[in-house]
């Protein structure tokens, strides 16, 4: 229980530091459905770390939110997100739950079946989280 509470505190702290914003110019050009995707994306980013591709997949998948892929891409790309910071956040969340080798964590973060970060973002996240 204490580990879970610590994880949640870390996640909330990271959420406060990692905010996604839409530029005013981008916001004006978004369609109604794309604005809805932006709202959903921000909620996901408030809860946990996501890679760009992982977030698009979550938003557009039939098992996720079911938005149109094109709307999800446009909406996510309209956000100002530090994807390296997201990778660090995800890496810390994994390490709070269980042990990972450096190589294993990088693979989890970067694999298509995992979080879908770029290998560079995954390496950065794993190093910053202390796995390497």
Q: Taking the CB of residue 83, how many other CB atoms lie within 10 A of it?
A: 20
End-to-end CA distance of the chain: 26
Q: Where are the domains of the chain?
A: 1-18+83-132, 19-81
Residue 43 reports pLDDT greater than 90? yes
CA atoms of 1 and 79, how far apart (whole Å): 34
pLDDT of residue 19: 57
pTM: 0.81
Parallel, antiparallel or unpaired: strands 21-22 and 79-80: antiparallel
Query: Tens digits of per-residue pLDDT, 80-122?
Result: 999 999 999 999 999 999 999 999 999 999 999 999 999 999 9
- Whole-number Cα distances in Å, 70 to 56, 75, 92, 101, 120: 9, 9, 31, 36, 25
Query: What are φ and ψ of residue 62, in 5° steps?
Result: -65, -25
CA atoms of 113 and 111, how far apart (whole Å): 5
Among 15-24, 39-48, 52-61, name the one with the lowest average pLDDT: 15-24
Residue 13 reports pLDDT greater than 90? no
The 8-class DSSP code of residue 104 comes to H
pLDDT of residue 4: 42
pLDDT of residue 130: 97
Of residues 101 and 5, more confidence is placed in: 101
- Whole-number Cα distances in Å, 24 to 67, 78, 81, 125, 127: 22, 10, 15, 30, 34
Of residues 118 and 29, more confidence is placed in: 118
Query: Tens digits of per-residue pLDDT, 45-69?
Result: 999 999 999 999 999 999 999 999 9
């Amino acid at each position: 229980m204490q580990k879970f509470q610590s994880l949640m505190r870390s996640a909330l702290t990271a959420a406060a530091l990692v905010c996604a914003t839409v530029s005013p110019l981008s916001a004006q050009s978004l369609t109604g459905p794309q604005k809805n995707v932006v709202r959903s994306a921000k909620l996901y980013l408030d809860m946990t770390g996501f890679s760009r591709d992982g977030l698009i997949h979550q938003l557009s998948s039939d098992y996720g939110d079911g938005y149109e892929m094109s709307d999800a891409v446009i909406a996510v790309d309209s956000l100002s997100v530090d994807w390296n910071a997201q990778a660090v956040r995800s890496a810390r969340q994994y390490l709070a739950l269980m042990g990972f080798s450096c190589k294993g964590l990088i693979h989890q973060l970067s694999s298509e079946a995992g979080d879908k970060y770029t290998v560079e973002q995954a390496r950065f996240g794993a190093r910053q989280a202390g796995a390497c």
